[in-house]
Chains A and B, each alone.
Chain A
Amino acid sequence: MSEAILVAAAVLGVLAAAAGLALPAGRRVSAAAGLTLLACVAAGWTGAQVLVSGEPIQLHSALILPLTGVQLEVGPLGALFMVVTAAVGIGATIYGVGYASHGLGGRTAAAALPIFITSMLLVPAAGSVATFVVVWELMAISSLVLVLVEHRNRAATRSAAQWYGVMTHIGAGAILLALVLLAAHAGGQSFTTIRAHTAHLSRPVRTIVFLLALVGFGSKAGAVPLHVWLPKAHPEAPGPVSALMSGAMVNLGLYGILLVGDELLGGGPGWWWLVVLGVGVLSALFGALHAVAASDLKVLLAYSTTDTVGLMLIGIGAAGVFAAAAHTDAAAVAMMAALLLLVNHAAFKPLLFLTAASIQRASRSRDLDQLGGLMRRLPVTGPLFLVGALAIAAVPPLNGFVGEWLLFQSLLHGLANATLAIALAVPIAVAALALTAGLTAATVVKAVGIGLLGQPRSTGAAGAREVALSMRVGPGLLAGACVILGIAPMAVLGALQPVAATLVSATPIQILRPGVGLKLAGIPAAIYPAWLAVGILAAVLSLAWGRRALGRRGGPRPVPAWGGGTVTPTPRMAYTATSFAEPLRRVFDDVLRPDQDLDVSHVAESRYVVESIAYRTRVTDAIESQLYRPLLGAVTWWGERARRVQNGSVHRYLAFGFVALIVVLLVAG
């Protein structure tokens, strides 16, 4: 039964793509969206079925892929990722119906979007190296096409797609190498065979496979230093696509790390995971710092994705380190934390990207310094964005909080009888978690406060109108998920337990569910997210009632804000995103390296009278300018050299062929 529904999901996805390609403009979007929704529901249902029953699904067909055949296998880990991807897919697809009139309505886009979603649904279902690589590539290429959809409007889109294409294919190369190496040494390409043989692999092979996989999947996940494509491609992609890329595709990078590191290689030495933890710390801090400095709303969100991925990698790394130190309880809690962070991320990040796209549509800009005053003008989208923003700030009672609490508890738990490496790594990880939380709080206040509150800073923002219904329903569903996951995370945690158990081979996992509370059995630690929510709500309502009852009648009277006694404040006087982040940019200027230009021109008659001041500042990605630019320079240099050899003369090419043939004959002989 589940097998049939999984196949149906794939077939529906293909049908959706066909509908997008073949139907006329009027019907194409709704038909493709409807079929994609069905595919998501079917895949989500299959995943949920596997999670609940614990029975893995196995499927094999030699008909589709020549030579190897297609092999599908959905275990608990894959099932979790299928459910999460399906949920994001549903939200983004509903949103896409309303968004289609803004650029996703073309034939190519309408066909590529279902392929992208379906391939993401199938990546966690792949059961062999060939199947995995094929759906992985399908996902990469279809998303590349979707990033390029709006390339006629902006030149930056093309450059972003170039970065994305190159990075994703470097990653794909590393993944292919890792998986092929694994298959060659295990003597079979199905994951079942590989799992059965990994114990006999030599240590160097295992290490090489793991590191290659870390590079390949890390680039997809947007981990530092392979994150450079993220802040370029996510902002340039159309709204639903960036939501899918950030909320679902990035997660699949983490799936890959878990698949190769834990499932196929069965854990490993502690230092592997210490590397993962280190990458996580770097990503979290780097992402959070750049997010707080960014003034483009979608760039900000893209960097914040790197930050969240960093936190998940800290959890995954900590789980591995603890498991290697035979500290299975702490390892299980850390893995649960990482998975919960992942589920949370899949709820709030698409929500933020979708509402950001609505904001961009409504006000015709995504530059925070051009926005403002939108909370009143977008009465649904504005509060939805606020929900997502508070969720990434990890404040109770929203969902980000429980994930970070669990991560903190696992780190604390892991400190008991710690080895030296753990004793040094844990405080660093906690500090990174804390600094990230603080910086994210500032980021959130900046994004919401500058972007949605205050006075509109441009005519576009002043004339903003609420977006179409489906563009409110999609994010609305995701916002509901944020609230439910925040108040009642126990439901999801119950489903995560078997997944974490398969990954870190822990004895019964330590999470109990007494009513509305969340308790760890190994250590005395408990929170009651629902009670916190009730407490806050009750306090807010009673205070609001008190304010009404004690004060005079009627609502607050609007008055001009204080402008220093002379004028009423204009939007030009208000703080901008750049000025808001200035203190933090100054504190962290070693990392952020802001470029600043200050031109002061004086009046010709007197140099004491200033005529005009021009101030420009730009934050560049230090890793891009220090690591990638020299690399690109070197590649270009080599290209120039190679061009001398390749001058287009047929004689020369014939000579090359002849020389090569002789060399081959000499070597072979």
Chain B
Amino acid sequence: MNAAGAGGVAAIAVAVQIALVGVGAPLLGGLMRKVRCRMEGRAGPPLRQPLRELRKLVRRERLRPEHTSWVYGAAPLVLVATSVVVAGVAPIVTTRSPLAGGADLFAIVYLLLLGSLFLGLAGLDSGTAFGGMGASRALTLGALAEPALLVAILALAVPAHSSSLPVIIHGTLRHPGWAIGPARVLALAAFVVVVLAESGRLPFDNPSTHLELTMIHEAMVLEYAGPDLALVTASEQIRTAVLLGLLMTVFVPWGVATSSAPLAFVWGAITLTAKVAGAGVALAAFEVVTAKLRLFRLPELLAAAFVAATLSVLVALVTA
């Protein structure tokens, strides 16, 4: 295959990854809602309900609270944009995309941080008590989750000598022992806790709550309405999907396309969908049986994740 052809395939890969995440994320949200409802003995709305809700919101009039500045309108855009860029860059379907070379785990963490920053700013820009409260809590948890996250990334990077995602994935595919070693298990524990915190799931935040004093994410975006709310909601779904996709790709990389063959690529997309759906079902089931933790108990959970991540680095160094 000539260079231009490879480039074309690669560009398609990026487009497909973004489209897959963009359409799949609301469906994943619907799936998780369905699982929860079924486990609680209810029928639940159809899978495509989140898509319908987004369509409804998009058609409404744009509103903004008085006193807000341009930051309020820009925040949803930045939020979705960072998630979309991560979805395009991260090698969740294929490691052969032109951008995968720059898919550094460290860079991905900081890209997502950019979105969180803007959301926090928007919460404060609304000038209400809820906006500030949500921003304060979200950023507190974000700050405390960061050490566990980066040290866990360090643990993943030690055996591969790189924090580049394609390198880690190729390494794991070549040495399947990595995936079940004690270092990986500890890192996985830390990662799962961090993903729950970053995507605002139980026991950190209840995504379906509207009880004022327990809200974190919902409080921050309380003032959003219409198309802006559609963007915020979509970004939440995309972020959950991307984080689950990253989690599954890093820890269970089998199925990710490592060649430019179209068949491998299709297989990569299918396995990704299956893996993320599986993770979503597990997460929803976990949420049914879990209660939200008190805000000031959460640092302990994150500290435990940090300890697991640090142990994972040390184990990885010893076994390397």
A: residues with CB less than 8 A from B are 292, 372-373, 375-376, 382, 386, 390, 393-396, 401, 404-405, 408-409, 411-413, 415-416, 418, 423, 426-427, 430-431, 433-435, 437-439, 441-442, 444-445, 448-450, 452-455, 517, 523-528, 531-532, 535-536, 539-540, 543-544, 547, 550-552, 554-563, 569, 571, 573-576, 579-584, 586-587
Asked whether A543 lies within 8 Å of B66 as measured between CB atoms, the reply is no
A359 → chain B closest CB, angstroms? 14
Give chain B residues whose Cβ lies under 8 Å from the Cβ of A523. Answer: 161-162
Report which of A372, A427, A552 forms a contact with B62, defined as CB distance below 8 A. A552
What are 7 A-to-B residue pairs whose CB atoms are below 8 Å? A435-B143, A435-B146, A437-B113, A441-B117, A527-B102, A562-B128, A583-B140
Asked whether B114 lies within 8 Å of A395 as measured between CB atoms, the reply is yes
Report which of B121, B163, B314 forms a contact with A423, defined as CB distance below 8 A. B314
In whole angstroms, what is the CA distance A398 to B81 when docked?
16
| Given A535-B85, A550-B58, A431:B150 Cβ within 8 A | yes
Report which of B104, B113, B137 forms a contact with A525, defined as CB distance below 8 A. B104
Asked whether A580 lies within 8 Å of B136 as measured between CB atoms, the reply is yes
Q: Which of A426, A441, A448, A579 has the most CB of B within 10 A?
A: A441
Q: Which of A526, A547, A573 has the most CB of B within 10 A?
A: A547
Asked whether A455 lies within 8 Å of B127 as measured between CB atoms, the reply is yes
A291 → chain B closest CB, angstroms? 12
Give chain B residues whose Cβ lies under 8 Å from the Cβ of A558. Answer: 63-66, 68
Asked whether B121 lies within 8 Å of A551 as measured between CB atoms, the reply is no
Give chain A residues whose Cβ lies under 8 Å from the Cβ of B144. Answer: 435, 438, 587
Chain B residue at minimal CB-CB distance from A557: B63
Give chain A residues whose Cβ lies under 8 Å from the Cβ of B101. Answer: 517, 526, 528
In whole angstroms, what is the CA distance A85 to B158 when docked?
38
B150 → chain A closest CB, angstroms? 4
Asked whether A449 lies within 8 Å of B77 as measured between CB atoms, the reply is no
Give chain B residues whose Cβ lies under 8 Å from the Cβ of A395. Answer: 110-111, 113-114, 117
Give chain B residues whose Cβ lies under 8 Å from the Cβ of A430. Answer: 150-151, 154
Give chain B residues whose Cβ lies under 8 Å from the Cβ of A453. Answer: 68-69, 71-72, 121, 124-125, 127
Asked whether B85 lies within 8 Å of A528 as measured between CB atoms, the reply is no
Give chain A residues whose Cβ lies under 8 Å from the Cβ of B124. Answer: 445, 448-450, 453-454, 574-575, 580
In whole angstroms, what is the CA distance A279 to B164 when docked?
30
In whole angstroms, what is the CA distance A401 to B99 when docked?
18
| Given A412-B158, A438-B142, A531-B102, A551:B89 Cβ within 8 A | no
Binds A, one of B219-227, B254-262, B266-274: B219-227
| Given A453-B124, A526-B164, A556:B67 Cβ within 8 A | no
Asked whether B77 lies within 8 Å of A441 as measured between CB atoms, the reply is no
| Given A536-B78, A540-B77, A556-B62, A587:B296 Cβ within 8 A | yes
In whole angstroms, what is the CA distance A297 to B70 when docked?
22
CB contacts under 8 Å to A, within B198-231, are 222-223, 226-228, 231
Report which of B59, B77, B111 forms a contact with A551, defined as CB distance below 8 A. B59
Asked whether A561 lies within 8 Å of B223 as measured between CB atoms, the reply is yes
In whole angstroms, what is the CA distance A455 to B228 when docked?
21
B255 → chain A closest CB, angstroms? 22
Known contacts A396-B110, A448-B121, A552-B61; 5 additional CB pairs below 8 A are A427-B313, A441-B116, A442-B142, A543-B81, A580-B135
Give chain B residues whose Cβ lies under 8 Å from the Cβ of A396. Answer: 107, 110-111, 114
| Given A536-B82, A580-B135, A442:B143 Cβ within 8 A | yes
Give chain B residues whose Cβ lies under 8 Å from the Cβ of A561. Answer: 65-67, 126-128, 223
In whole angstroms, what is the CA distance A586 to B297 when docked?
12
Asked whether A434 lies within 8 Å of B128 as measured between CB atoms, the reply is no
| Given A412-B157, A561-B65, A579:B136 Cβ within 8 A | yes
In whole angstroms, what is the CA distance A560 to B68 when docked?
10
Q: Which of A394, A437, A544 has the most CB of B within 10 A?
A: A437
Asked whether A559 lies within 8 Å of B64 as measured between CB atoms, the reply is yes
In whole angstroms, what is the CA distance A312 to B223 when docked?
40
Mark B82-103 against chain A: 1 for CB-CB distance below 8 A, else 0: 1011001100000000010110
B283 → chain A closest CB, angstroms? 23
In whole angstroms, what is the CA distance A375 to B60 when docked?
27
B132 → chain A closest CB, angstroms? 2
Asked whether B111 lies within 8 Å of A532 as measured between CB atoms, the reply is yes
Give chain B residues whose Cβ lies under 8 Å from the Cβ of A409. Answer: 106, 163
Kindly state whether residue B195 has any CB partner on chain A within 8 Å: no
Asked whether B143 lies within 8 Å of A439 as measured between CB atoms, the reply is yes
Give chain B residues whose Cβ lies under 8 Å from the Cβ of A525. Answer: 104, 162-164
B16 → chain A closest CB, angstroms? 16
Instruction: Sort A-B residue pairs by CB-CB distance and give the 9 closest, nearest first.
Output: A575-B132, A449-B124, A438-B143, A438-B146, A539-B81, A434-B150, A561-B65, A454-B127, A375-B69
A629 → chain B closest CB, angstroms? 29
| Given A561-B127, A569-B128, A579-B132, A427:B143 Cβ within 8 A | no
Asked whether A584 lies within 8 Å of B116 as measured between CB atoms, the reply is no
B: residues with CB less than 8 A from A are 58-74, 76-78, 80-82, 84-85, 88-89, 99, 101-102, 104, 106-107, 110-111, 113-114, 116-117, 120-121, 123-133, 135-137, 139-140, 142-147, 149-151, 154, 157-158, 161-164, 167, 222-223, 226-228, 231, 295-296, 299, 306, 310, 313-314, 317
Asked whether A551 lies within 8 Å of B84 as measured between CB atoms, the reply is no
Give chain A residues whose Cβ lies under 8 Å from the Cβ of B70. Answer: 375
B84 → chain A closest CB, angstroms? 5
In whole angstroms, what is the CA distance A306 to B104 when docked?
28
A568 → chain B closest CB, angstroms? 8
A513 → chain B closest CB, angstroms? 14
In whole angstroms, what is the CA distance A212 to B309 when docked?
37
| Given A405-B104, A561-B126, A580-B132, A431:B226 Cβ within 8 A | no
B153 → chain A closest CB, angstroms? 8
A468 → chain B closest CB, angstroms? 22
Chain B residue at minimal CB-CB distance from A382: B69
In whole angstroms, what is the CA distance A587 to B142 when docked?
13
Asked whether B128 lies within 8 Å of A444 as measured between CB atoms, the reply is no
Give chain A residues whose Cβ lies under 8 Å from the Cβ of B162. Answer: 412, 523-525
Asked whether B62 lies within 8 Å of A441 as measured between CB atoms, the reply is no
Give chain B residues whose Cβ lies under 8 Å from the Cβ of A401. Answer: 107, 110
In whole angstroms, what is the CA distance A437 to B66 when docked?
32
Chain B residue at minimal CB-CB distance from A457: B127
B104 → chain A closest CB, angstroms? 5
| Given A430-B150, A453-B124, A535-B89, A586:B296 Cβ within 8 A | yes
In whole angstroms, what is the CA distance A557 to B61 when docked?
8
Give chain A residues whose Cβ lies under 8 Å from the Cβ of B63. Answer: 556-559
Chain A residue at minimal CB-CB distance from B73: A556
Asked whether B114 lies within 8 Å of A437 as measured between CB atoms, the reply is no
B225 → chain A closest CB, angstroms? 9
Chain A residue at minimal CB-CB distance from B65: A561
In whole angstroms, what is the CA distance A544 to B62 when docked?
13
Chain B residue at minimal CB-CB distance from A428: B310
Q: Which of A292, A390, A523 has the most CB of B within 10 A?
A: A523
In whole angstroms, what is the CA distance A558 to B72 when docked?
12
A317 → chain B closest CB, angstroms? 17
Q: Which of A404, A412, A438, A586 has the most CB of B within 10 A?
A: A438
Asked whether B107 lies within 8 Å of A550 as measured between CB atoms, the reply is no
In whole angstroms, what is the CA distance A526 to B164 when docked?
7
Asked whether A434 lies within 8 Å of B146 as measured between CB atoms, the reply is yes
In whole angstroms, what is the CA distance A547 to B62 when docked?
9
In whole angstroms, what is the CA distance A547 to B143 when docked?
31
In whole angstroms, what is the CA distance A86 to B117 when docked?
32
Asked whether A442 lies within 8 Å of B132 as measured between CB atoms, the reply is no
Give chain A residues whose Cβ lies under 8 Å from the Cβ of B150. Answer: 408, 430-431, 433-434, 437
Asked whether B82 lies within 8 Å of A441 as measured between CB atoms, the reply is no
Asked whether A551 lies within 8 Å of B61 as measured between CB atoms, the reply is yes
| Given A441-B117, A539-B85, A552-B62, A547:B136 Cβ within 8 A | no
Give chain A residues whose Cβ lies under 8 Å from the Cβ of B314. Answer: 423, 427
Q: Which of B114, B157, B296 has the most CB of A within 10 A?
A: B114
Asked whether A441 lies within 8 Å of B143 as measured between CB atoms, the reply is yes
